[in-house]
Amino acid sequence: MTHNENEIRSKVAEINLKIEELRNRRKALLSELGEGRLSWSAIITGGFGALMIGLGVIALFAANWDAFRREARAVIALAPVVACGVAAILAHARGVKSRALWEPVGILWCVSVAAAACLVAQTYQVGGSVPGIVLLVALLMLPVIWVTRAAAPMALWPIMAIVWTISSIGIGGGGRSIALAVKGVALMALSLPAYIVFLRSNPRKAALVTVQVVTGLVYSFGLGLLVSAALPLRYDGTSYVYVFWLCAALVVGAGKMFALPVWGMAGTIVAAAAAFPTPVLHNGCAYFIALALVGGIIAYGVSKLRIGFANIGAVTFLWLILAKFFESRVSFTVKGVVLIASGLALTALNVALVRIRKARRA
């Protein structure tokens, strides 16, 4: 009896220790989540504040720009760039790693670099074209992004490559060509090292998801826009749909390969959006490919219980069917009934998926 009592007491003590350990873990997780929310809100607020400061300084000096000499203009234009550089050096020397500091510094530094390049070029009347200025500003921003690892400039920087490509077509006189598309894609790829460094820095979940959403959309949609603008495609619209599908597939594949799950959602959204024009393009091949694509999206969403994917596929599928249906001469009564039935089917799909997911979790 004594042996059994000792064994029971030891098991009770072991259970109490495990309960205490679980409580401590719960407190640590709650604390970490709270800090993440606070830190991310501070980052957004600080970044917005830095952007407002930079734009305000530019507006202030622009109002009195003619009153300064050339030398004074150059010093004024470069002063914010130097100040941000000094702040970055001091923060790095002191080992400051807080995103609440580096994000505003990165945004203000990038704005200062862009403004300084344009102002110095205007002050000394440096010859050049719009694509040349865009390329210069983009290349000057890259070291800032690599050093500060600021999420907003890093995620939005590929837009510079799109602007450069589009401006090179008409203003630069380069015209549409495969070479221009390759150059634009190569320029966009220069932001990938900064993104890799950001991922390796173990960012918090909120920051990681947000940056994945922005970069996924920018790379998939931006890459499609860049290639569509640079290549001499036919103007029937079908070629553009194929290009966006290909670019979205590349982003989805990259997200799968490098464990970036949000890229899959971003690429799927772009692919579904590219399928929307197919009913009015009067190209049967593209239309049936779109139907197969959204069917695959629905099947993936249902099999994996990913409601977001299922909804994207379902909404796109309904659009593809209804767009063809409403081109027919069926009466509006029938069309109204079909719309109601489609809405009920979409609602039923969501309710069924939610119930199945709850049941599996239980």
DSSP 199-241: HHT---HHHHHHHHHHHHHHHHHHHHHHHHHHS---TTSHHHH
Average pLDDT, the chain: 79
Assess whether pLDDT exceeds 50 at residue 233: yes
pLDDT tens string 251-302: 999 888 888 888 988 999 999 999 999 888 878 889 899 989 988 998 898 8
CA distances from 119 to 59, 71, 116 (A): 12, 12, 5
Contact indicator for 146, 194 with CB cutoff of 8 Å: yes
Assess whether pLDDT exceeds 60 at residue 19: yes
pLDDT at 273: 92
Assess whether pLDDT exceeds 90 at residue 1: no
pLDDT at 174: 53
Above pLDDT 70, what percent of the chain? 79
Q: How far apart are CA 244 and CA 15, in angstroms?
A: 57
Three-state DSSP class for residue 56: helix
Q: How far apart are CA 83 and CA 86, in angstroms?
A: 5
Mean pLDDT value across residues 98-119: 82
Assess whether pLDDT exceeds 50 at residue 152: yes
Q: How far apart are CA 146 and CA 197, in angstroms?
A: 8
Mean pLDDT value across residues 230-245: 84
Q: How confident is the model at residue 242 (pLDDT cuts 50, 70, 90)?
A: very high
pLDDT at 249: 94
Assess whether pLDDT exceeds 60 at residue 37: no
Name the token pair of 111.
């704005």
Mean pLDDT value across residues 232-238: 78
287-290: list long-range contacts, CB under 8 Å, 24+ apart: 287/320, 287/324, 289/245, 290/241, 290/316, 290/320
Assess whether pLDDT exceeds 70 at residue 52: yes
> Residues of 289-302 as b/e, b for ≥16 C-beta within 10 angstroms?
bbbebbeebbeebb
Assess whether pLDDT exceeds 80 at residue 109: yes
Assess whether pLDDT exceeds 50 at residue 33: no
In the DSSP assignment, the letter for residue 79 is: H
Higher pLDDT, 190 or 39: 190
Annotated domain spans of the chain: 293-362
Please give the angle made by the CA atoms of 184, 102 and 197, to the nearest 5 degrees. Answer: 50
pLDDT at 279: 86
Least confident of 169-183, 217-231, 313-327: 169-183
Q: How confident is the model at residue 246 (pLDDT cuts 50, 70, 90)?
A: very high
Mean pLDDT value across residues 321-341: 71
pLDDT at 42: 58
